[in-house]
Amino acid sequence: RQLNILVDTGSSNFAVAGVPDPDVTSYFNTELSSTYKSQGIDVTVKYSQGSWTGVLGTDVITIPKGIDGSYTINIATIFESENFFLPGVQWHGILGLAYGTLAKPSSSVETFFDSLVRQAKIPNIFSLQMCGAGLPVSGSGTNGGSLVGGIEPSLYRGDIWYTPIKEEWYYQVEILKLEVGGQNLELDCREYNADKAIVDSGTTLLRLPQKVFSAVVQAIARKSLVQEFSSGFWTGTQLACWDKTERPWSLFPKLSIYMRDENSSRSFRISILPQLYIQPILGIGENLQCYRFGISSSANALVIGATVMEGFYVIFDRAQRRVGFAVSPCAEVDGSPVSEIEGPFTTEDVASNCVSVISFHEPVLWIASYALMSLCGIILLALIILLLIPPRCQHRYTDNDVVNDESSLVRHRWK
């Protein structure tokens, strides 16, 4: 069966609708597949918005273009979901292309891409072109293309600029600074990477940590030619509307993101024009065209989502541990490009490392860290008690007296 699949670089499971759903036009009926084998293991994946639960199994797939042959891969058939399949969408599942560390229910589940690299012997690299700049937001997410095993020269213009992958779980990169209208926000670079900064095709907007988001909104409001703009527009609760004959993009500034180059003493910047972050919405009024703000606040991570990615051809070079950006030819509105890449620039004005050295992204690491802290606390408390109790009342602790606090906080990182 042929299904439309959402390509998501922010998760690692391959999952498709396994039962009828009001919001999907087709689903994968495992009973009709002679090659499907259920593993009988339930798996649940939660995102910042939406979740699904399915059954893990294996099946044989073929890729229509580029790679000959059939390959056995892990696949989850979704039997229950919440805010995952949405009205009007034209996809029937999700293909997670992040690293196996994020796979559910555990990292032992081989990802789709890892299986393909191992069985088809293709290079450990894939690339994405997401198109839709300046087009009304329909939610279908069907524009663009992906290439596994290499790079397609016709899908980009100019040079490819690469930034190192800091850690292999999400595609975590290092952000050095942001500029609005050519003006630096003057934030400590650690603010951009406080939790993580990732490249995630499954996230619609450019998401920024709260402090960064507030600074960006204030800078855009100062640079904008629109007077007394509604705060609801910035928070995503209101739309801004203009006459259909007008183009409001000239009222807003360019947004630039600086990333560290493979040469750590250099950086490059990717820039998006307002056509990418002031986004038209379908079906609002007869004479008015309404727009939404394509940037939102995040509880923790900085997420380079579709708002930015639609301006670029993005290469996920896992073999070389790097992510590449080049200008996409489909990032044009009214014949003019709406994205730019420039460099190199010096990194003398930023810290030598903007990413926290310690990053606990596996639940087992959180368990271990809290267990160790609990144990240290118990030992310290015992020593204090020993020092305070008079000598005649001292008690020598035996193994049976040791208190073992096994309760720990496990931090789940959802997209």
Question: Which residue numbers are catalytic?
Answer: 8, 200
Q: How far is 162 from 407, CA to CA, in rounded Å?
A: 42
Tokens of 269: 């910047």
DSSP character at residue 410: P
Closest alpha carbon to 305 in 70, 389, 393, 314: 314
Number of helical (H) and strand (E) elements in the chain, helices listed first: 6, 27
Strand partners, 5: 93
Strand pairing of 240-243 and 157-164?
A: unpaired
138/280 Cα distance (integer angstroms):
9
Strand partners, 314: 128, 325
Query: What is d(CA 138, CA 135) in angstroms, rounded to the nearest whole number?
Result: 9
Rounded distance, CA 225 to CA 230, Å? 13
Q: How many Å apart are CA 27 and CA 138, to the nearest integer? A: 22
Q: Where are the alpha helices (DSSP H) in 155-245?
A: 210-223, 231-235
Strands 70-82 and 255-260: unpaired
